[in-house]
A and B are shown apart, each in its own frame.
Chain A
């Protein structure tokens, strides 16, 4: 089994103002695996996810200690724009750009100068196919992205992230705003994508975490209480809090 490390987080602590939101978190993310981080709301899992692409940095009061290595390189010594080009992100609420479906997907390749005109439509098609949206929208790529349904918009956001061909895709509770059918489609899609991308997903749904992940972490009050292979964590959690969460007694 190939266990190449993509991300390594070492003793990461983070604060918003005086409020400590992450406490000494260490973990590893493996290539082409789905890593799920679960935990009750307010446990710091979203903040943790946003450390991977330094998206917390623009918040004035945010402060961080510890190290994160991306392919062995310290991300705090990288240009965040370059980092984010290689690490895509999908958010809790679908947030397409105020432009056409095509332009949404083409946005990343365009700003990074990844493809000229002809290559661009191929890229967009490929990304939309990868996000399992192509069949539904290929006739109306010029239509505003806002005209799509919630589930379609979220898949569009995935296509948008995929279009720059990142190494990692970060997903922050991507299905919490969607209905069960749309949720199922996205979960299926993530499994397909994991053959080519490293995926980190934050979720508060235990079911989702168990269904799709290879590695599973449990966070509680800013600490990474448990982290390991999903089968191990679900069957034999080392920590009592994990057990309580998995059985629905906290959360």
Chain B
């Protein structure tokens, strides 16, 4: 009897959580999707953000994500491979692993401050696409690295031994393990980029402007991005500009949901 009550309570709780999370996902979409039209996607914002669209923010986010992918995916995967396949179980590798786990839970604004001090000022990149993409990459690398190493370590030792037993050297064996974990690696990188895509604070201090008349032409130009655009509109403009924030939020939610769906699809297809 007590079991029955407990299980129906848990069931109820699960349903409630499900409904709430669905609502959180759907609310901005419903609220913002009505503003979707060709102008919204192809024009610059105009008249105090009351007219026009979010084209430069979309382009900015895309550029930023491409650079983050170029910088962080190779490095993240290499770190993951090193941790899983090469690092001997010493205190140093344990420290490295702990550091990486810790880095994934550091608040993103801390990365922003680092990026501001190091990339914008010390390296002299200024408020720019380059500074922002380096900053986000530094944030993404530990996530991708940690996650990739977990996927590689989950590969059965049987496979490593199979490769070794046929005379594969270390490098060939590692490639075999990577091959076995490739869907895991792919989803790690997608999730890492998805996380970076939604970040606001680090970009706000390292690369974003609230309004630019032109798309960035150089890596040292600043950019508009979707999350910082929402922030700019909500905190600085009167209510007649709010629609633009809702529209941008809807687009972001749709993109994030799409990324996660792709990851799920990849995982399901491979199992």
**Contact residues of A with B, CB < 8 Å?**
53, 55, 58, 60, 81-85, 88-89, 91, 93, 95-99, 107-108, 111-112, 157, 160-161, 164, 170
Contacts and interface: CB of A to CB of B under 8 A. Distances in A.
A59 B203 CA distance: 45
A97 B179 contact: yes
B175 to A, nearest CB: 10
A112 B166 CA distance: 9
B167 A164 contact: yes
Interface of B: 88-89, 156, 158-159, 161-169, 172, 176, 179-180, 182
Contacts, number: 64
Contacts of B162: 91, 95-97, 157, 160
Contacts of A81: 167-169
A111 B179 contact: no
Given A82-B167, A108-B166, A95 B179 contact: no
A110 to B, nearest CB: 10
Given A97-B176, A111-B172, A164 B166 contact: yes
A160 B88 CA distance: 30
A107 B180 contact: no
20 contacts: A53-B165, A58-B164, A60-B88, A81-B167, A85-B166, A88-B166, A95-B158, A95-B161, A97-B159, A97-B179, A97-B180, A98-B176, A99-B179, A108-B167, A111-B166, A111-B167, A112-B167, A161-B165, A164-B167, A170-B165
A97 B176 CA distance: 7
A98 B180 contact: yes
A244 B156 CA distance: 36
A111 B161 contact: no
Which 6 pairs from chain A and chain B are nearest by CB? Answer: A89-B165, A85-B167, A95-B158, A84-B167, A95-B162, A98-B180
